[in-house]
């Protein structure tokens, strides 16, 4: 595996190397970072790093990460909110808090585990053993619609639609601040944040990312938006809205620290999905109502401001 190259910022001066690595690299815990340092898998300006090294800021750090251990996804009898299902595809209304596929720290209880049980093995294999049937993902703390493929033919057709944007995904969210215009577009590249490897950010040289937004309702200090994705980068809507000064209400990563105690995560819901059926060639459209928590927040705002 090619080493991961990091450039320690000036503000990292005085910080222990293992602590910095654990904060900067999502795959690392502090204990694993220490283990890599001891085994010579961490180079500081080209030389093996000392165990108790503290940074001066400005160093180039090369980290050789261990190969990820394979995760075997097993069927689990987890209830699913099925919006539509046939022999080729299944559309799920995913609840907030459910991880889409197994990953380190989330080996069970995922949507994939539930799909393996429900579909009894009838899922496409293109995504590999960890992501059978998964065509696209939504964040753990985002609720709403997601389509999975039940065979490779459907998976290939749906993936092509993702690429040419004929698979349309619409989200609703509550964003901070008041939008002057009724609609607009954020066209800004997204990549891993150089300051915090656990976050995404708008950066030069990032992957192209386009989000179209439209105002549904305005309140004092908050705006109810519909957002349509033209691309599907990690955390795209959350990053783009934060970038233009309107972070999503309840977002613990890209929003403000103090939020409504009645909210558990961001007010972001994948409410609409439009695609061409891979077998029939017909356009089909699906909708998922807003979750109770989101609806309650809207009703509260309407009582106050309307």
Domains and their CATH numbers in the chain:
4-63 (3.10.290.10), 73-163 (3.30.2350.10), 165-306 (3.30.2350.10)
* Average pLDDT across the chain, whole number: 89
Which residue stretches of the chain have pLDDT < 50?
none
Angle at 151 between CA 145 and CA 155, to 5 degrees: 55
Angle at 96 between CA 92 and CA 99, to 5 degrees: 75
pLDDT at position 148: 95
- Digit-coded pLDDT (tens) for 263-291: 667 899 999 999 999 999 999 999 999 99
pLDDT at position 69: 55
pLDDT at position 129: 67
Active-site residue (options: 18, 88, 139, 251): 139
Of the candidates 78, 81, 83, the one whose C-alpha atom is nearest the C-alpha of residue 117 is: 78
pLDDT at position 262: 61
Of the candidates 96, 268, 82, the one whose C-alpha atom is nearest the C-alpha of residue 170 is: 268
d(CA 28, CA 33): 6
pLDDT at position 306: 66
- Digit-coded pLDDT (tens) for 6-30: 888 887 888 889 888 877 776 677 8
Check: CB of residue 180 under 8 Å from CB of residue 244: no
Active site residue 81: no
d(CA 114, CA 111): 5
- Digit-coded pLDDT (tens) for 109-134: 999 999 999 998 788 877 666 678 89
| CB < 8 Å & 24+ apart, contacts of 256-259 | 256/176
Whole-prediction pTM: 0.77
Check: CB of residue 80 under 8 Å from CB of residue 114: yes
């Amino acid at each position: 595996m090619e080493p991961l190259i990091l450039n320690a910022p000036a503000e990292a001066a005085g910080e222990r190397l293992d602590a910095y690595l654990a904060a900067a690299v999502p795959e690392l815990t502090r204990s694993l970072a220490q283990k890599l340092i001891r085994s010579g898998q961490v180079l500081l300006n080209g030389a093996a790093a000392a165990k108790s090294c503290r940074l001066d800021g400005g160093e180039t750090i090369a980290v050789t990460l261990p190969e990820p251990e394979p995760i075997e996804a097993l069927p689990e009898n987890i209830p699913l909110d099925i919006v539509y299902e046939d022999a080729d595809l299944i559309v799920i209304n995913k609840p907030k808090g459910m991880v889409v596929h197994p990953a380190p720290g989330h080996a069970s209880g995922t949507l994939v585990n539930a799909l393996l049980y429900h579909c009894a093995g009838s899922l496409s294999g293109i995504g590999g053993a960890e992501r059978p049937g998964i065509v696209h993902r939504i964040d753990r703390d985002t609720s709403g619609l997601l389509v999975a493929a039940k065979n490779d033919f459907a998976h290939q057709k749906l993936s092509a639609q993702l690429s040419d944007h004929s698979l349309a995904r619409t989200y609703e969210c509550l964003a901070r601040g008041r939008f002057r215009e009724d609609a607009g577009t954020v066209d800004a590249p997204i990549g891993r944040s150089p300051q915090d490897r656990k976050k995404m950010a708008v950066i030069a040289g990032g992957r192209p990312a386009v989000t179209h937004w439209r105002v549904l309702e305005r309140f004092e200090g908050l705006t109810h938006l519909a957002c349509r994705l033209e691309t599907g980068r990690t955390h795209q809507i959350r990053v783009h809205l934060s970038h233009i000064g309107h972070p999503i209400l309840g977002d613990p990563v890209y929003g403000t620290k103090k939020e409504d105690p009645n909210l558990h995560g961001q007010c972001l819901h994948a409410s609409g999905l439009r695609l061409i059926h891979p077998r029939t060639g017909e356009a089909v459209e699906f909708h998922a109502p807003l979750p109770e928590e989101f609806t309650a927040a809207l009703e509260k705002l309407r009582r106050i401001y309307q």
